A = this chain, B = another copy of it.
């Protein structure tokens, strides 16, 4: 019976893209609508986002940031104030031209990101060094006019948080950029069990208007990379374009130094593609809205449901637990909660009750553990920990298996022809080589990692003196 059900989704190794589409639909994460390129996030998908949001919001507040809310619309003239920024974003914004039956005198774009709105506001409220730093964050929706879209990974509209901060000095802004990249790294590694490479984007790949961009990059099951969160140091570029100045302690006018950083619903896609398998989703316990699902067996037999409800109440004091007491068959329920990636399934039937035990089934390994009733609490707590740890380790191992060094273009290409994955290779720093590598291999520079190593002394592409080691990959 389980096998039949599994056939409902395409096997990962057969067609990974189709597997992904099947899973997000079958696990009830999303639905489509008549709005091209947008998705409906269904209750289970949204619960995942709420888990991530709550965790990240706590960290954002702990690090001294405050939430605010900026308008959805940006007048065209405001968007144009910073030259690189408008060049980067203009091709992909949605334009509002009419309000009710009136044509607008100036078009409004639907925010693709809110730098210019924050800048305008900062100019209003920052006057003195006493007003600094300003550490703001916003949770909201943004729109980018994408041609090809996929749920969570790339959609016309997506949900995210965008932090925007102002500092007295370049050093402080730099420190902030690093701090928030680490907050993202911790979220991904500790909560979503996704190992990350931290590093800096190349000039070509940095954010439009930034001095530099830091990124956390992760590797999916199919060997393609996914940019999972970025943190930008703006220097004083926006400050100069918007005239955001403060009077320092000596009474001198200075420009502020700014950062921005964002993390989106995309990380749900990362979680799916890093941990999922042919049975569906696998959710790391710390990110799971439901950690333990109780499935009663022969629930019509006297005492089974009462027992299950009591269990649920007890377990709810130390884990996120639910009970499916519907009249669907246990086999259907097993499949359903495997598809949804619930970390632990707790099975209990009349015979278990007689023997004073329950069955704990691990989603990640499939292992079934017969557990005496008096040991349930310690067993569940231990198991959740183990699953979390195991998922991270598996993902790390996969990434290591799919990470290869290349010392010349031949190696580079041959490796990527065999399989996708990270290629570590030296780079001279020239745009020309970066573009040539992309053209010849399909791989883009993912980041210049903070943890450098010297593979050779020469650029993998042109053979000239190398500046740094770069992670390259085909990417989402």
4 closest A-B pairs by beta carbon, nearest first, are A38-B71, A43-B66, A41-B69, A99-B145
Contact of A97 among B69, B97, B120 (CB under 8 A): B97
The interface-forming segment of A135-143, A299-307, A358-366, A456-464 is A135-143
Contact of A96 among B34, B90, B94, B121 (CB under 8 A): B94
The interface-forming segment of A72-80, A211-219, A415-423 is A72-80
0/1 interface trace, chain A 85-101, chain B, CB 8 Å (1 if under): 00000111111111111
Known: A97-B98, A98-B94. A40 touches B121 (CB 8 A): yes
Nearest chain-B residue to A140 (Cβ)? B141
Chain B residues contacting A120 (CB-CB under 8 Å) are 33-34
A381 at the A/B interface (Cβ < 8 Å)? Answer: no
Q: Copies per complex?
A: 2
Chain B residues contacting A92 (CB-CB under 8 Å) are 100
Nearest chain-B residue to A104 (Cβ)? B94
Q: Tell me the smallest distance from the CB of A268 to a CB of chain B, in Å.
A: 12
* A:26-61 near B, CB below 8 Å: 31, 33-35, 38-43, 46-47, 49-50
**A250-B47 Cα distance, complex, nearest whole Å:** 34
Cβ B121 vs Cβ A70 within 8 A = no
**A145-B91 Cα distance, complex, nearest whole Å:** 26
Cβ B143 vs Cβ A35 within 8 A = no
A interface list, Cβ under 8 A from B:
31, 33-35, 38-43, 46-47, 49-50, 66-75, 77-78, 90-101, 107-108, 110, 117, 120-121, 124-125, 136, 140-141, 143, 145, 156-157, 159
Chain B residues contacting A93 (CB-CB under 8 Å) are 99-100
Chain B residues contacting A69 (CB-CB under 8 Å) are 40-41, 46, 49, 159
Q: Tell me the smallest distance from the CB of A30 to a CB of chain B, in Å.
A: 10
Chain B residues contacting A74 (CB-CB under 8 Å) are 35
Cβ B95 vs Cβ A97 within 8 A = yes
Chain B residues contacting A97 (CB-CB under 8 Å) are 95-98
Chain B residues contacting A95 (CB-CB under 8 Å) are 96-99
